[in-house]
Amino acid sequence: MKNKIVIILILMAALSWLTRSAYAQDAKYYALFVAKFSDYIEWPNAKTPIVIGVYGNQEITLALEGFTSKKQNIQIARINSIHDVNKCQIVFLGDSKKGEFESIRASIDRKEILLVTENESFAERGASISFYLDGTKLRFRLNKQAIETQNLKVSGSLLSLADVI
Amino acid sequence: MKIYKTLLLITLFAILLPDAMAQDGENLSYDDLLNLSLDELMELDVVTTSKLSTENISEAPSVMSIITEDQIKKSGAKDMEEVLRTVAGFDITKKGMAPNLMVGVRGLYSTDGTNNKILFLINGHPYRSALYNDANVAIGNYPVKNISKIEVIRGPGSTLFGAGAFLAVINIITKDIEEAVEIQASTGSFNTYEGYGLGSWKGKKGHLKVSGDYFSTQGASIQLESDLASEMVAPISSMFGYPSVPSAVPNNLNYNRQTLNLGLEASFSNFYLLAGRMDSRDEPTIGIFEALTRENSVNNIGTFTELGYKLPLQDKGEVLIKSYYDLHQHDSDVESWAYETTEFFNYYTTIMHNMMQLPGNPTLYQSGEAQRYRTKSDNVNFGGEINFAYNIQNKFKILTGAMLERSLLNNISTSANGNFFLDSNMMIGTDFYIPLEAFGETKDISETFNWMTEADRTISAAFGQAEFNFSKAFDMGSIHNFALVVGARYDHYSDIGGSFNPRGALILAPSDKWYMKALYGEAFRAPSFAELYTQNHVVMQGNPDLKPEEVRTTEGVLGYKPYKGAEFTLSYFNTQVTDNIQPVYYQYEAQSFELLYENVGNYRSSGFELDFRTSINEKLSLSGSATYQEVLNITNDEKETVNTEGEFIQYQMGDFAPGGIPNYLFNLMANYEVVPFLNVNVGLNYVSERIRSEEVDFERDPVSWMATGNMIKLDERAPIPSRTLLNASLLFHNIPSVKNLEIQLSGNNLLNVDNYNPTTMITGADIQRAGINFLGTLRYKF
């Protein structure tokens, strides 16, 4: 029996090493920020409610769905494939799908879509906003040029809160 | 074998369970959070602990696990046992004779029939009866439907919480305020029914939340092949020529339970009110003599009220002033022996009555009448506490406070329908009864043979904890976190004396991915009123000379966050308990014995705990824990007696395994969202075999009770085999057009494996637990 336990532990370890998606205990906060971003961005041609699509993080999807009954100007869409991103005004890319970042970025190029990523390095590679943790606080990097390329207008107050690159 | 060890080592470094994360805004509703501006949100600590300060849990000076409402719901757990057994290092058993769950932590357990080494909190309020100094039945009977989060601190917590935070602290956080009404209804195997309702409202200056839960079950059958009546009374009865076995075994009886839980929470401005009441009626099938019995009723009513005022200090800290009043009422009306045994008592007392040539005839039990024993008591805890917390730019944090509490035990009464003593006569008024003789009616014997004396105590305490964060105070280059936490608490009990308990923690995170903790803590447990003052009891006798038992724990934690959100921890623990309070069995002659609480025994528990929680993809997530623990009795007691030759002989005990404790515990839970409206959850709970106690004692001549000179193992039984419970749950939610409705079907012990818990005194059987069972639940939110 001892050997069985060791084998099970090894399998668990292997799974842990192989997986790279987030355990989103803090999903509620990410979802809050994403929902709040809709108040600071202007979509010249979009109608409300603003559609937020989440790709690669189920916990954030669920958390956002929890907000929709309280925040009337947003609507949540589930993204099952890369083609679904074009129906959204905000796309959140979770780490489990980070390998598809370049494809998504190309797919939404110059469209009025705000691309927010869980991975902190993507803002430097063309994402609109990327999250990172500063100690216990949640922070975000904002790529002003990328947002303008998407034909979106960002408010000054959001710029003042962001780490602008 | 070598490869396993190598792989295990790799695994231990690879899988380091998340010291679970909690959130600063955890107590804020969605409305509250949405009303915060983005810059206010950025000031929230995403990761915090709950207890009086806002620390990152990887920086908290303790080993902690958190179970969320979402985990509880998706797992389909119907009660606290099914929830708590998933915590690393936790072994949950039921003794049968007591209605409580027995919560073992890292291989150490509370005094039989209690959980007096576990501190159980409801929203931070200690739920604790003064009689047993534990949460009594609440720890097992608390409705899981009302839980938002369970925080579990493994290891000693006396520095912040005082006595009783000995092996672990379990803090129940009730559901969030969502300005909604929620109802739930469940039904399942064993005629189980449950109804739950929650309503909460929020205004500009305060909130109100009320909850109620009613749970009723016929319970799993307890199949018992042997009990103390068949093992202890039967040999005596055959000596007297009694023709049948005076016991209800073998038999299969159900364990009934009904619980009503009511909760009230309110706040206005800086004031808050917490109140709760739990009525529990348990019908354990094994009586206080560990004999199988039929008609038992153990009623416990616990109420608590806490009123507090929080004064913010310019966003730098807080002063909390609170007062509380708790009342716990116990009423245990149980059969001590089944009617099969009292039929022998009639036979026995008739013979003895004649032998003693007593006048008249002995009083006899009616046909079908069991020997009954009823004890009642009320106990009250009331007091106040002031806490002061201050934080200087996260470089230096201080938490200090003081408390004063009074505990009262009163309204004690005892009634019985017979002389329950095996070797003492009873004189009640002018009536005389020989051992085991019936009274002919139920008599109040509180005047002469009350089971407990009235008691009271005053407890005062002062505590303080300081955290110095060097990495925030000084430029330490790439060091992510380097902090020292020191704390101490002094408690004074008017009847026991004082106890000083320090703790310290050194926390180092060389990067944001790795962290290490070295922890040291001491804790104490004051003897309860029951341990001090029980008297005239059918089984146990109190000991007013008891002193507090103490524990010292050293812990090491290695944490790893390989990528954002994924967290693993490995914990090492070494716990030493000294002056352990436990019932000591004294057998003076073949038929004369006593169980007396004594400060005897030192124990050492050491081992590893490993947890992990991660997502494979957006649909599939895994969580689990594995524990290795080794417990030894290290008292090295010297046993002495006189042998059949009249010579004084001694035996020196070495370290030995106390028995009944599994070395390995393992949990694995997989959660899979098949489609957006269907969630499947599968869980495995493995407990390794439980070997019997390795304690030896003198072999004795059955007639003279003198030692023969040989040593014998006290418990020769084979180990209780390992068992694996497979549990699964189907949750239908987010159903299009009825999003507020959820339907759940869950199954427990789906492989219907044998599941036995160890008994205390019975040697011919163990306690059988539930086989396969199901529960269906409907939830609706308005």
Q: How far is CA B245 from CA B229, B236, B249, B341, B416, in A?
A: 8, 10, 9, 8, 24
Q: Which residue of A has its CA nearest to B627?
A: A5
Q: Which residues of chain A have a CB within 8 Å of the CB of B566?
A: 16, 19-23
Mean per-residue pLDDT for B357-380?
94
How far is B470 from B477, CA to CA, in rounded Å?
11
Complex ipTM more than 0.90, yes or no: no
Q: What is the pLDDT tens value at each position of chain A, 165 positions in all? A: 445 555 545 544 444 444 333 333 467 788 889 988 988 899 988 777 889 998 887 778 877 887 776 777 888 887 878 888 888 999 999 877 888 888 899 888 888 999 999 888 899 899 999 998 765 578 899 999 999 999 999 988 899 889 898
Q: Which residue of B has its CA nearest to A9?
A: B11
How far is B524 from A85, CA to CA, in rounded Å?
59
Q: Which residues of chain B have a CB within 8 Å of the CB of A16?
A: 14-15, 562, 566, 568, 612, 614
DSSP state of B146: G
Any B CB within 8 A of A135 CB: yes
Cα dihedral B514/A22/B12/B625 (nearest 10): 130
- Contacts of A61-66 with CB under 8 Å at 24 or more apart are A61/B618, A62/A27, A63/A24, A63/A27, A63/A28, A63/A30, A63/A31, A63/A32, A64/A31, A64/A34, A64/A35, A65/B734, A66/A28, A66/A31, A66/B30
Higher pLDDT, B739 or B291: B291
Q: Which residue of A has its CA nearest to B68?
A: A25
3-state secondary structure of B244: coil
Considering CB atoms only, which of B45, B615, B619 is closest to A136? Answer: B45
Any B CB within 8 A of A25 CB: yes
Q: Which residues of chain A have a CB within 8 Å of the CB of B179?
A: none
Say yes or no to pLDDT of B49 above 60.
no
How far is A33 from B439, CA to CA, in rounded Å?
74
Q: Do A29 and B666 touch (CB under 8 A)?
A: no
Distinct helix (H) and strand (E) counts, chain A? 6, 9
Reading the block at residue A82, the tokens are 């890369």
Interface test with chain A among B13, B31, B38, B476, by most A beta carbons within 10 Å: B38
- Any idea how long chain B is? 782
Higher pLDDT, B315 or B171: B171
Higher pLDDT, B29 or B710: B710
Where residue B605 falls (left for φ over 0; alpha for ψ -120 to 50; beta otherwise) is: beta
**Average pLDDT value over all residues in chain B:** 87
Before B18, cis peptide (omega within 30)? no
Amino acid found at B153: I
Quote the pLDDT of residue B591.
55
Interface of B with A in 522-581 (CB under 8 A): 562-568
How far is B308 from B320, CA to CA, in rounded Å?
7
Q: Which residues of chain B have a CB within 8 Å of the CB of A119?
A: 564
Q: Each residue of A65-79: pLDDT tens digit?
A: 877 767 778 888 878
Q: Are strands B592-599 and B540-541 parallel, antiparallel or unpaired?
A: parallel
Instruction: Describe the crossing of helices B2-14 and A2-18 by its angle, rounded to 10 degrees.
Output: 40
The answer for residues whose C-beta is within 8 angstroms of residue A147's C-beta and 6 or more apart is: A41, A114, A128, A129, A154
Count A/B contacts: CB-CB distance under 8 Å. Answer: 167
**B589 pLDDT tier (thresholds 50, 70, 90):** low
Q: Which residues of chain A have a CB within 8 Å of the CB of B4?
A: 3, 6-7
Nearest-Cα distance to chain A for B676, in Å, is 9
Distinct helix (H) and strand (E) counts, chain B? 13, 43
Q: What are the φ and ψ backbone dihedral angles of A59, each rounded to 5 degrees?
A: -65, -40
Say yes or no to pLDDT of B168 above 80.
yes
Q: Do A96 and B666 touch (CB under 8 A)?
A: no
Mean per-residue pLDDT for B272-301?
92
Considering CB atoms only, which of B46, B54, B562 is closest to A26? Answer: B46
Q: Going from the N-terminus, what domains does chain A have, and what CATH number goes with each?
A: 2-164 (3.40.50)
Q: Which residue of A has its CA nearest to B616?
A: A19
Q: Which residue of A has its CA nearest to B2?
A: A3
Quote the pLDDT of residue A24.
36
Interface of A with B in 40-79 (CB under 8 A): 40, 56-59, 61, 65-67, 70-71, 78
- The gap from C-alpha A116 to its chain's centroid, in whole angstroms, comes to 4
